[in-house]
Amino acid sequence: MSHKKDLTVGIVGLGAVGKTLVKRLDDGIFGLKLSAVSVRDVKKTAGILQGLKGDIKILTLEELAEAVDVVVECAPAELLPEIAEPVLRAGKTLIVLSVGALLDRMDLIDLAREHGGQIIVPTGALLGLDAVTAAAEGSIHSVRMITRKPVRGLVGAPFLVANKINIDDITSPIQIFSGTAREAAKGFPANLNVVVALALAGIGPDQTQLEIWADPALTRNTHVIEVDSDAASFSMSIQNIPTENPKTGRITAQSVLAALRKLRSPIRVGT
C-alpha cells in the first residue's frame, strides 16, 4: 500500500466499541479515513451516521472487503468467519475483537498468508502483551491469569447456563471457573477474548491457565497476569471501566484506535 494516501477503514458492527470508533475516526486521525460500515440494522445505523463530517457508506460485508484497506470487526463472535473470509481473500487487514472465535478457525491465518492479508489482534482490555510476545521469543514456563468481574458482566455466559450456576444473588466473591484459555473461550465467548489474546501472544490456549471470579462488590473488570519465562518473571494488574455494555471495557475501543494509529504513524512505540 502506498504511504502517500490515507488508509481507508471500515467497521463491522456499531455496538459500544463500534460507535466510539466511528466518532473518533470521523474526528480525524492522521493517515486514516473512515470510509464505510457494515451492519445488520441499516435504518438504525443511518441515524447513528447522521451528523458525521465524512461521507460514510453502508455496505455489505463483500462490498466492504473490496472497498477499504482495513476492516475492524466489532460484531458477535459467531459472525467472525463471515466477516473475515472476504477481507482476507482480498488481501486486506482485519482487526479482530472476537479473538476467541479464532481458536476454532485457525485456518483463517492460512487464508491471510495465502492472499497477503493480515489479522491484527489488539491488546484490548489487557496490558503487557508486548512483554509476553518478547518473552515468547525465548521460553515461557507458565502463564496464569485471574479475572474478577461484576456479576452483571457474567450473567448469561454459556458456561454458567450449562452448569446451572446462578450468580444473580451472590453476596460475596465466588470462583466460577478454573481451566485453560481454550475452555474459557467456549464458556465465556463475550467475556474472555482477553485471555485468548494473552494465549496467542504467549504459550497457546491449552497451556494458558485462567481463574474467573464473580464479585458483587466490583464495578470494574479486573485482570491479573503472572508470567514466568527464561528472560523475565513479571506480574501485571489492570482494572477496566465498563462501557454501557458491562461485558466490554472502555479501553477496548482505545486499544483499537492505538493499533490503527500505528499503521500510519511516523513513530511507533512498542513491539
Non-local (6+) Cβ contacts of 268 within 8 A are 262
Please say if the pLDDT value at position 2 is more than 60: no
One domain, residues 48 and 80: yes
- At 168 the pLDDT is 93
Q: Give the list of residues 6+ apart from residue 142 with CB closer than 8 angstroms, or none.
A: 203, 207, 209, 226, 227, 228
pLDDT confidence band for 112 (50 / 70 / 90): very high
How many folded domains does the chain comprise? 2
CATH number of 26's domain: 3.40.50.720
CA-wise closest residue to 150 among 238, 247, 218? 218
Asked whether residue 89 is domain-assigned, the answer is yes
Q: Would you state the pLDDT for residue 10?
A: 98
133 and 197 inside one domain: yes
Q: Kindly report the CATH number assigned to the domain that includes residue 215.
A: 3.30.360.10
Residues 35 and 111 in one domain: yes
Q: Does residue 206 sit in the same domain as residue 180?
A: yes
Q: Which of 119-123, 211-215, 244-248 has the lowest mean pLDDT?
A: 244-248
* Whether 180 and 207 share a structural domain: yes
- Is residue 14 scored above 60 in pLDDT? yes
Residue of higher predicted confidence among 21 and 190: 21
Higher pLDDT, 98 or 248: 98
Lowest-confidence region among 17-31, 121-135, 237-251: 237-251
Residue 233 pLDDT: 97
1 part of a folded domain: no
> Do 103 and 182 touch, CB atoms closer than 8 A?
yes
Question: Is the confidence at residue 164, as pLDDT, over 60?
Answer: yes
pLDDT at 1: 46
Asked if residue 63 and residue 158 are part of one domain, the reply reads: no
The average confidence (pLDDT) of the chain is: 93
pTM: 0.91
Q: Is residue 109 part of a domain?
A: yes
The candidate with the shortest Cα–Cα distance to 216, out of 166, 147, 151, 165, is: 151
For 10, the enclosing helix (H) or strand (E) is strand 7-12
Question: 243 and 133, same structural domain?
Answer: yes
Same-domain check for residues 78 and 170 = no
Q: Do 145 and 59 belong to one domain?
A: no
- The answer on 234 and 155 residing in a single domain is yes
Residue 66 lies in a domain: yes
Mean pLDDT for the stretch of residues 115-142 = 94
Which residue range forms the structural domain that includes residue 91? 7-124+251-264
Task: Tell me the pLDDT band of 3, cut-offs 50, 70 and 90.
Answer: low
In a domain, 213, yes or no: yes
Q: Which of 3, 115, 141, 223 is flagged as catalytic?
A: 223
**Which of the two residues, 51 and 12, has the higher pLDDT score?**
12
223 is catalytic: yes
